[in-house]
Amino acid sequence: MTSVIRTHGLTKVYHTGAARSRRAASGQLRPDAEAQPGPPGAGKWGRAASRRLRPGAEAQPRRAGTPQVRAQRGVDLVVGAGEMIAVMGASGSGKSTLMNILGCLDAPTAGSYELDGIPTGGLTRDQLADLRNHKIGFVFQGFNLLARTTALDSVALPLLYDRSGRVRDARAAAAAALARVGLADRAHHQPSELSGGQQQRVAIARALITQPTLLLADAPTGNLDSRTSIEIMALFQELNQQGLTILLVTHEPDIARYAKRIVDMRDGRIIRDQPVTDRRSAAADLAAEPVEPVAVEEAA
Ligand SMILES: Nc1ncnc2c1ncn2[C@@H]1O[C@H](COP(=O)(O)OP(=O)(O)O)[C@@H](O)[C@H]1O
Ligand SMILES: [Mg+2]
């Protein structure tokens, strides 16, 4: 059986521009390499061209000495259909980089990634975008909704970019997706008229509208209070129960226990990968805990 995700030796190296300025600041930069102005009117390309023509200027690898951030150092990850995985790890351990590569938003420096049996290496940007539109729903910590845009329009938006023409009636599909996340009655509200939890539900509906195989969520409860976080996890568990494969990043062990499997990262590597033995039901936790009568103003 094909896996939804199969990576081998996934590597991502970021070249940051910092060294150049750091070397320049410490006087290590050859005085003629960068500081010297080009011919009048040549601008930056003129300088680059004159630098390239200087003998010996390209003798060393262009990126020698440039600081590198090795955000992924050989990640092997196989995710089967119907899994629900929490990715954990300290800030900077490479969780977002991994999610972005899995979501076809970023390409690895080395290693391979197969999404739903399709090797992604060598695909063009357009092909990657089509693959993303077909297979992946992405949910972010900050909801990423457009201001002054109704829930219905936000949710319908991905269909505008879907060139397959699978969905005929975008508004009907958006309404159905909103109903699926329990927001049928908020279709005409803008983000400013919705609570954080409701905004995240809109974002989840937007992720679902293309009927993805895989839902990727980078710290989806990071901006939410604990009860709302559990409500979002109840929704994820329900969607997972319906067959959606889910990978989510979280910093909170309590949230990770709603997943079926926890992957721990450190310094761009997976250091632990285990099933959750004491898995919790978010719906049961919500039912067991009475709603506190909090004095918040009605969002809508
Ligand atoms: N676009 C980028 N350019 C340069 N370095 C980056 C970029 N994105 C992430 N990094 C670096 O890669 C490492 C992993 O980052 P990230 O994947 O965002 O970690 P996490 O999500 O676990 O906090 C960090 O050192 C971070 O600074
Ligand atoms: Mg991150």
Q: Is the pLDDT of residue 124 over 60?
A: yes
What does the pLDDT average to over 206-214? 95
**Residue, of 24 and 127, whose pLDDT is higher:** 127
Which residue lies with its CA nearest to atom 4 of ligand 1? 14
Among all bound ligands, the one having the nearest atom to the CA of 101 is 1
Q: What is the pLDDT of residue 299?
A: 57
Indicate which residue's Cα is closest to atom 6 of ligand 1.
14
Best mutation site among 13, 15, 63, 69 for ligand 1, i.e. most ligand atoms within 8 A of its Cβ? Answer: 69
pLDDT band at 34 (very low <50, low <70, confident <90, very high): very low
For residue 267, the CA-to-ligand 1 centroid distance in Å is: 10
Domain 72-288 has CATH 3.40.309.10: no
Q: Is the pLDDT of residue 219 over 60?
A: yes
Does the pLDDT value for residue 24 go beyond 60?
Answer: no
Who lines ligand 1 at CB under 6 A? 14, 16, 69, 71, 89, 91-97
**Quick one: pLDDT at residue 54?**
41
Closest-CA residue, ligand 1 atom 5, reads: 14
Note the ligand closest to the C-alpha atom of 72: 1
> Confidence band (pLDDT; 50, 70, 90) for 43?
very low
Looking at the predicted structure, is the pLDDT value of residue 187 above 50? yes
Q: What angle do CA 284, 244, 222 make, to 5 degrees?
A: 60
For residue 298, the model assigns a pLDDT of 61
Provide CATH 3.40.50.300 ranges for the chain.
72-288
Q: Is residue 18 scored above 80 in pLDDT?
A: no
Predicted confidence band of residue 300 (pLDDT cuts 50, 70, 90) = low
- Is the pLDDT reported for residue 296 higher than 90? no
pLDDT value of residue 64: 63
